[in-house]
Amino acid sequence: MLHWNMSLETGIAAVDHGRRQLLEAMVDFIQIVDDPGLNQKLVAERTGAIFKAMKVAFAAEEEFLNGRPEADSAPHIASHAAYSLAYVDLCKKLVPKIRNLKQAQQACLEIYRCIEHGVFKHVGEEALAYKRMRRQASSQSPSPVTSSASPA
């Protein structure tokens, strides 16, 4: 199961907020699998919520990365696009085919595997890199200059 924990925190407020929202959308999604009223509409609503949260989370990361001159953000941003595209393609393939509870549950499980092995794994693996960038940024911040000027 997906759980937010300290290992996922980056120390960057906007990034952590976006990621936490994404994780909550993922958890809300997987919790509907046992709902006896599970249907195509509910699956579509929850997959849409994940996609919206994914866009917000990835935008926060991209904003942070674009502000880092030392970070080559292009590959990272490309990975976000690839995860988003794979997710949307899978949802477009599965959700319209849902006609009954069993199909809805099967679609949810396939979508869950996609987000768990793709997006969630990505979020977990990159947390340390964000922590390092944050530490580098804070150590490179100019400290106030205190000089004693001598009279000319």
Q: Are 89 and 76 in contact (CB under 8 A)?
A: no
**Residue 66 CA, distance from chain mean position:** 17
> Cα angle at 59 between 57 and 60, to 5 degrees?
65
Q: In the structure encoding, which two tokens stand for residue 38, read together?
A: 């599970």
Q: Could you tell me how many residues make up the chain?
A: 152
23 CB-contact burial (10 Å; exposed 0-12 / middle 13-18 / buried 19+): buried
Confidence (pLDDT) at 144: 45
Neighbours of 31 (CB within 10 A): 12
Q: At what angle do helices 40-66 and 73-94 cross, to 10 degrees?
A: 170
Confidence (pLDDT) at 7: 84
Confidence (pLDDT) at 41: 97
Q: What is the pLDDT along the chain (152 residues), one digit of tens a residue?
A: 567 888 889 999 999 999 999 999 999 999 999 999 999 999 999 999 999 999 999 999 999 988 777 667 888 889 999 999 999 999 999 999 999 999 999 999 999 999 988 888 888 888 888 888 888 777 765 544 433 333 33
Pick from 45, 57, 52, 55: nearest CA to 20: 57
Confidence (pLDDT) at 150: 35
Confidence (pLDDT) at 143: 46
